[in-house]
Structure 1
Amino acid sequence: PVASCVPEIKVRKNTVYSASRERLLNISCPVTYCAEVPTVAWMKIDETSKYIPINETNHLTITQERTGLKNIISYLSFRNISTHNNGVYRCKIFSTNFSLESHNININVSDSSYLTSANNSTGFSETKSDVSWLLYVFICLGILGLVVTVMLISFLCINICSRNANSRRNK
C-alpha cells in the first residue's frame, strides 16, 4: 500500500492573540505539506462572515520560513497594531490539487500599554510584557534568598554541634 500524505495547518481551535495598541504582533500559521510547497494566504472575516484577503501594507507584512523538511510557517505581522485590527483571521494554503483553511484566529487589541499574549484552547497562555523581566528578577532573588538561608542554617548547626562536641571533650 502507498502511504498517503495529507497537508495540514497546525493552528489550534480557539486561538486568541491579545495585544496592546501600537505594538508589534506576529501571528503564525504552521503548515506541513506533501510534495509542492503550498501558497499561504491570509484573510480577515468581517462581521457579515465575508472573507477579506489580507494585502501587505506599511503596517502589515506576510513572511514565510521553512522550519524543516515539508514544514513552513507563515507569519502575519502587525506593526503599530490598532483596534481596527480586532477580529477573526484565518490562513489558507492552496496548491494545484488542494486547498485548506485554518481554524479561526481571534485578535483582541486593547488600549492597555503592556500586554501582548497568545492563548489557545489548551488553556496555555504565553504573555510578553515590558515588565516581564521583573518576574525573572524576583524568581532569582527568591532562589538566592533560599540558598543563603539554607547555608546560614547549615553553618549555624555545624558550629553549634562542634561547640557541643568540644565542650564534652573538655569535661
Structure 2
Amino acid sequence: MRANICWIIWAGLLLTLNADDECYIETHVLPYTSYKAVVGEYLEIECKVFFCEEAPTVDWIKREQTDVPVNVSSSSHIDTQWEFIDKLEGISFLIFHKVRLADSGVYQCQSGGSNSHYINVFVNVDDGRGRTTVPQKNESSANPEPKVDSWIYMYLAAGIVPFIIIVIIISVVLMCRCQGEMLNKYAIQEIIVLL
C-alpha cells in the first residue's frame, strides 16, 4: 500500500507541473519599429502572431490620447490581411492603400490579451521637387515605449528556480523511498549532480 501512495504523490507532482501548459497568444513586433511613407503611397505594417490552435483575431489600434481602434471598414483607405507563416504562426498586416498625413502616429496590434510593442508611422509630404518635408507639430506623434522594470524578471526567476529545485528534491526523495532505498551520502551526491 505504501508504494501505491508514493506513486500517487509522484503522479500528483507531475500533474501539478503540467497544469500551467495553457495556450497563450503572443503578438511580436520588435521594439522601436518605425515606418516612413509619403502621402499617397501604399504602406503596410506587420505584426507577427504566435498561437496554439486556430488563427486568432488581431485588432489594430492607434495610440492617441485614448486608444482608437483602426477603421478598416469597406469605405476606409485602410485594410487588414492575414498570412500564415507556419501551422501556429502568422502575420497580421495593416495596409494603408493611400496613406494620409493623418495616418502618422503610433500603432499597436492586440490579440488574446497580448499587446505588441509600439509601431511608429511617419508620413511626410512630397513638395513636388523630389524633396519631402516633415509637417511641424507642437507635440511629438511618437509615444515612448513604456519602461519595463527588469526587476520583475529577476523576482520571477528568484521564485521559479527554488520552486523547481524543491520539486526535484522531493521527487527524488519520494522515488528513493518508494523503491525501498535509504538516502545515503551517495544518493545525496547524485541529487546535487542532477541539480
* TM-score for both structures, normalised by structure 1: 0.58
Flag the structure with higher helix content: 2
Change (3 A) 1:7 1:60: same
Superposed, 1:119-138 pairs within 5 Å as none
Q: How many residues align?
A: 109
Deviation at 1:83, TM superposition (A): 1.0
* CA spacing shift, 1:108–1:20, aligned 2, 3 Å: same
Give RMSD over aligned pairs. 2.0
Counterpart CA distance in 2 for 1:82 and 1:76 is 14
Residue type of the alignment partner of 2:42: L
Q: Secondary structure at the match of 1:9?
A: strand
Is 1:101 paired with 2:115? Answer: yes
Q: Percent identity?
A: 31
Give 5+ residue unaligned stretches, structure 2: 1-16, 133-195
Structure with the larger strand share: 1
> Are 1:92 and 2:110 counterparts?
yes
Q: Distance in 2 between matches of 1:67 and 1:114?
A: 37
Cα distance in 2 for partners of 1:30, 1:21 equals 26
Counterpart code for 2:48: P
Q: Which amino acid aligns with 1:52?
A: V
Q: Map of 1:1-171 to 2, 5 A cutoff?
A: 2=18, 4=21, 6-46=24-64, 48=65, 50-56=66-72, 57-94=75-112, 99-112=113-126
1:63-108 CA distance string (max 9 Å, x none): 11111110111100001101110000000002xxxx1111100000
